[in-house]
């Protein structure tokens, strides 16, 4: 009896597929990836909270309650809100055009949407300084009309807008393309106007993808440093966002604990984003599965 069991075990061990790696090789690869992630990501993240609370809860709360920190949080909120709203409007329009129509310059538009991915944020910031700065192209005219873009909130929003440009559009294009146009045609044959079709049929079919894009866009907007650093004058309590505040505090102006205390805000944002992202991806996958379950035909 035991002999039979033993031989069966041996048989299952041998039945590994030919293309599979040796179990030890597999384990070693997984372990090295885990160790790498732990050292690079988890340890620093935990360390942020550890350092922030090093001297107790009171100094931590005091650092967060600092007037300049509060202003920085408000600035970050305003920058993120404006740039996400603008990108949402742009992303919806661009993705709809790209997914539903054939036109000249479509490839160019797609490439331009991807541009911010390949341009350094610092360069992006500089581009705006060159255009709108005091010595810049539009500088004298703006000065004459008392409009402040560089070293002010509009510049910071512009820079953030540039950096977060691709997120919404890039998320929606493949989704809209996979939906095709049949549902829209059906809506129109039932008497729906263009707007009714868009609001009732097109938009609901991509809502999870849209939320996902908006959330990633927001996370990037709140965390942006380079581009904003270049276009803002970096004045505490005025044109300082949360990432800039952390940088300035760490330079020695407010101390190491305060810097880490503010950093926990961004770390917390990252964790929330991650959780939401996982949930939204799950919902979106379900929608895709549902979509593929419906037969689709081309004309």
Partner 1 sequence: MSIELKGISKRFGTVAAVENVSFSIAEGELVALIGPSGGGKTTVLRMIAGLEVPTEGEIFIRGEVVNDQSVQARNIGFVFQGYALFKTMSVFDNIAFGMSVRGRPKAEIAERVGELLKLLQIEGLDRRYPHQLSGGQRQRVAIARAVATKPLVLLLDEPFGAVDAKVRQELRDWLVDLHDKLKITTLFVTHDQEEAMEVSNRIVIFSRGHLEQIGTPREVYEEPSNEFVAGFIGVLNVLELKVQQGMARCQELAFPAHGVAEGGVLRLGFRPYAVQVSPDLATYRYRARLKHVYFLGVQLRLELETASGLIIRSRMAKEDFRRLGLSQGIEVSFQIREYRLLARDGEPLGQEVSALQSVPNFADGI
Applying CB under 8 A, the residues found at the interface with partner 1 are 182-183, 185-193, 196, 200-201, 204-205, 207, 290-291, 293-297, 299
Among 126, 119, 78, smallest CA distance to 242 is for 78
Q: Write out the two tokens for 122.
A: 């610092």
Nearer to partner 1, 55 or 181 (CB): 181
User: Nearest distance from residue 169's CB to partner 1, in Å?
Assistant: 21
User: Nearest distance from residue 210's CB to partner 1, in Å?
Assistant: 13
User: Nearest distance from residue 297's CB to partner 1, in Å?
Assistant: 4
User: Nearest distance from residue 11's CB to partner 1, in Å?
Assistant: 41
User: Nearest distance from residue 92's CB to partner 1, in Å?
Assistant: 17
Is-contact 68 240, C-beta < 8 A? yes
H helical segments located in 15-56: 23-37, 43-52
Phi first, then psi, for residue 234 (nearest 5°) are 70, 35
User: Nearest distance from residue 211's CB to partner 1, in Å?
Assistant: 14
Nearer to partner 1, 178 or 234 (CB): 178
Q: Residue 16 region, left (φ>0) first, then alpha (ψ -120 to 50), else beta?
A: beta
Is-contact 76 206, C-beta < 8 A? no
Say how far apart CA 184 and CA 192 lie, in whole Å.
9
Task: Identify the sign of the CA torsion 285, 287, 291, 294.
Answer: positive
Nearer to partner 1, 251 or 294 (CB): 294
The SS3 assignment for 180 reads coil
Nearer to partner 1, 78 or 291 (CB): 291
Nearer to partner 1, 105 or 191 (CB): 191
User: Nearest distance from residue 174's CB to partner 1, in Å?
Assistant: 17
Nearer to partner 1, 146 or 298 (CB): 298
- Residues in the chain, total: 299
Nearer to partner 1, 67 or 289 (CB): 289
């Amino acid at each position: 009896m035991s002999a039979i069991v033993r031989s069966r075990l041996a048989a299952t061990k041998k039945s590994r597929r030919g293309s599979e790696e040796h179990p030890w090789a597999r384990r070693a690869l997984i372990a090295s990836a885990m160790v790498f992630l732990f050292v690079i990501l988890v340890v620093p993240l935990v360390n942020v909270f550890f350092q922030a609370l090093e001297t107790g809860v009171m100094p931590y709360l005091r650092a967060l309650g600092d007037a300049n920190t509060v202003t920085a949080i408000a600035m970050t909120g305003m920058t993120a809100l404006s740039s996400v709203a603008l990108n949402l409007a742009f992303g919806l329009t661009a993705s709809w055009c790209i997914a539903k129509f054939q036109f000249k310059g479509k490839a160019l538009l797609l490439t331009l949407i991807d541009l911010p991915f390949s341009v350094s944020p610092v360069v992006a910031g500089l581009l705006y300084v060159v255009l709108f700065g005091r010595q810049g192209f539009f500088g004298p005219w703006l000065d004459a009309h008392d409009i402040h873009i560089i070293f002010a909130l509009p510049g910071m929003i512009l820079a953030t807008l540039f950096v977060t440009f691709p997120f919404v559009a890039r998320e929606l294009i493949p989704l809209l393309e996979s939906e095709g146009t049949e549902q829209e045609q059906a809506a129109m044959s039932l008497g729906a106007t263009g707007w009714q079709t868009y609001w009732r049929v097109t938009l609901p079919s991509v809502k999870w993808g849209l939320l996902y894009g908006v959330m990633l866009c927001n996370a990037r907007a709140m965390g942006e440093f380079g581009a904003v650093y270049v276009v803002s004058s970096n004045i505490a309590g005025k044109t300082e966002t949360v990432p800039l505040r952390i940088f300035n505090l760490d330079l020695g102006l407010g101390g190491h604990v305060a810097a880490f205390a503010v950093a926990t805000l961004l770390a917390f944002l990252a964790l929330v984003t991650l959780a939401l992202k996982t949930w939204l991806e799950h919902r979106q996958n379900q929608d895709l599965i549902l979509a593929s379950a419906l037969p689709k035909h081309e004309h």
